[in-house]
């Protein structure tokens, strides 16, 4: 707790309610960022960089198998892993990317890559989230990589989530649409079936259009995931009452490949705020 307790006391007080942070630690490599945060107000990208770097500094050791997440915050964790491998501070690392774009970034940094076919057990996976509730249940998939993310992260001994404080919520649903990956075959039927599920009552099910990496329509063609599937985004006006139950109902629906509810998977959430970094442990 030493350096961060002093540097980020303000954020700890701010998050003392539903998201009171757990014990926060810092490695030697990250101490300069902590001192920087004491002196300056940081931009959102700088905060994402700090939290991405901290995740790698604190949780990745030489010889590990590491899951690499997808998104604007996970980007910095991948960047940091590449830096430490290049400098020799980390050795004998292999990594599993969760999307084509993360694979391309990792390859550009010369991070050795493997797949679940050869490495079914991971030491740690690091990724962002679109929403985090007080029980550390997540909504993920805004970037369209939810299936590969879940396949990789469920195999990790530790799953470290990195977010900025805007992603914290009292209940999942209203703040960010829930993505569900579905098969193209009879997709309109599957969308109607999803909307009729008891746990999804009242949702507005919207087929994602344009790029699969954004839930904002940016094209006239149906969005296609890395896996060749479609995504339907479920918009809720009220908080999801029972996320694990909804997760089960969606998973049991024929035509659904997987969904963006990540329940009971999180080891710790590293939170970037305007005053610095805090950690909430499961």
Residue position matching structure tokens 């998939």: 141
Confidence of residue 47 (pLDDT cuts 50, 70, 90): confident
**Residues forming the active site:** 149
Q: Which residues pair with 233 in a beta bridge?
A: 179, 206
Give me 130's structure tokens.
């679109």
**79-135 residue pLDDT tens:** 999 999 999 999 999 999 999 999 999 999 999 999 999 999 999 999 999 999 999
Q: What is the pLDDT of residue 8?
A: 41
Give me 39's structure tokens.
């002196």
- Phi, psi dihedrals of residue 66, rounded to the nearest 5°: -120, 130
**175-192 residue pLDDT tens:** 999 999 999 999 999 999
Percentage of residues of the chain with pLDDT beyond 90: 80
Q: Which residues of 186-203 are buried (b: 16+ CB within 10 A; e: fewer)?
A: ebeebbebbeebebbeeb
pTM of structure: 0.86
- Cβ within 8 Å of residue 211, ≥6 positions away: 144, 218, 219, 223
Q: Which residues pair with 209 in a beta bridge?
A: 222
- Phi, psi dihedrals of residue 32, rounded to the nearest 5°: -65, -35
- Phi, psi dihedrals of residue 159, rounded to the nearest 5°: -115, 110
Complete DSSP assignment for the chain: -HHHHHHTHHHHHHT-STT--B-----GGGHHHHHHHHHSPPPHHHHHHHHHHHHHHHH--TT-EEEE--STTHHHHHHHHHHHHHHTSS-S-EEEESSHHHHHHHHHTT--B--TTT---EEEEEE--SEE-TT--EE--TTS-HHHHHHHHTTEEEEEEEEEGGGB-SSSSTTSPEEEEE-STTHHHHHHHHHTSGGGTT-EEEE-BS-TT-SS---SSBP--TTS-EEEEEE-SS--S-HHHHHHHHHTSTTEEEESEE-S--SEEEEEETTEEEEEE-
- Cα gap 62→56, rounded to integer Å: 11
Q: Please answer whether residues 148 and 116 qualify as being in contact, where contact means their C-beta atoms are separated by less than 8 angstroms.
A: no
Q: Out of 87-101, 167-181, 243-257, 266-280, which region has the weakest mean confidence (pLDDT)?
A: 266-280
- Cα gap 231→206, rounded to integer Å: 9
Q: What is the pLDDT of residue 43?
A: 82
- Cα gap 132→24, rounded to integer Å: 18
- Cα gap 127→267, rounded to integer Å: 12
Percentage of residues of the chain with pLDDT beyond 70: 85
- Cα gap 1→3, rounded to integer Å: 6
- Phi, psi dihedrals of residue 179, rounded to the nearest 5°: -80, 140
């Amino acid at each position: 707790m030493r350096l961060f307790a002093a540097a980020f006391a303000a954020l700890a007080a701010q998050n003392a309610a539903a998201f009171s942070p757990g014990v926060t630690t810092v490695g030697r490599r990250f101490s300069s960022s902590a001192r920087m945060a004491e002196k300056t107000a940081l931009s959102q990208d700088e905060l994402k960089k700090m939290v991405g770097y901290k995740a790698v500094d604190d949780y990745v050791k030489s010889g590990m198998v590491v899951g690499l997440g997808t998104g604007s915050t996970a980007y910095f964790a991948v960047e940091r892993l590449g830096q430490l491998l290049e400098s020799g501070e980390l050795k004998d690392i292999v990594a599993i990317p969760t999307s084509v774009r993360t694979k391309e970034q990792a390859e550009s940094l010369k991070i050795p890559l493997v797949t679940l076919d050869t490495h079914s057990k991971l030491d740690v996976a690091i990724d962002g989230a679109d929403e985090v509730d007080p029980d550390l249940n997540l909504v993920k998939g805004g970037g369209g990589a939810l299936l590969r993310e879940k396949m990789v992260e469920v195999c990790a001994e530790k799953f470290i989530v990195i977010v900025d404080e805007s992603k914290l919520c009292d209940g999942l649903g209203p703040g960010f649409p829930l993505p569900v990956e579905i098969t193209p075959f009879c997709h309109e039927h599957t969308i109607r079936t999803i909307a009729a599920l008891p746990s999804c009552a009242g949702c507005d099910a919207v087929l994602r259009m344009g790029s699969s990496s954004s839930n904002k329509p940016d094209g006239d063609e149906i969005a296609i995931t890395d896996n060749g599937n479609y995504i339907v985004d479920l918009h809720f006006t009220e908080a999801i009452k029972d996320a694990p139950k909804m997760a089960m109902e969606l998973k049991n629906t024929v035509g659904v490949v997987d969904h963006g509810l990540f329940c009971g998977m999180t080891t710790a959430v590293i939170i970037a705020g305007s005053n610095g970094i805090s950690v909430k442990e499961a």
